[in-house]
Amino acid sequence: MRRMASGFIAGLAMLALMVPATAQDMEEEEAPPPDPATLECHDKAIEGSGPGFDASREKSEQAARDNWLEKAKAVFPDANWDIALDAGVSCAVQGLYSKCFAFGTPCRPKG
């Protein structure tokens, strides 16, 4: 019985790592959308994330955006987070730690 209870608790702990604590923790950052008519965009979105959970949500968000930008620059060397289409950041929270994911379609100005 004790073994089954510890297995159940371990399973719940793993689930907690995969599911955010509240809906507020999964809010996406909002920025004014870029005008798609002035942009040349990649055909699919890219996702980036930091190396793991961090005690600072701000650092975790920045690490996710930095990783996204590194991947986006492989598509467009002049890619920029500010003009990515449908860009956002979502974070999973475990206690005091956050792991964030940045997503969006990389674009560059036409011309």
Domain ranges of the chain: 2-109
pLDDT, one tens digit per residue, over 7-36 is 444 443 443 444 444 444 445 555 566 677
| Average pLDDT, integer, range 24-50 | 76
Residue partners of 94: CB distance under 8 A and separation at least 6: 16, 17, 21, 53
State in words which class domain 2-109 has. alpha beta
Q: Are 91 and 24 in contact (CB under 8 A)?
A: no
Residue 58 has pLDDT above 90, yes or no: yes
| Average pLDDT, integer, range 56-72 | 97
Give the predicted TM-score (pTM) of the model: 0.68
Q: How far apart are CA 40 and CA 50, in angstroms?
A: 27
| Average pLDDT, integer, range 51-75 | 96
- Which SS3 state, helix, strand or coil, does residue 50 take? coil
Q: Measured in whole angstroms, how far is the alpha carbon of residue 89 from the centre of its chain?
A: 4
Q: Which of 24-38, 53-67, 68-82 has the lowest mean pLDDT?
A: 24-38
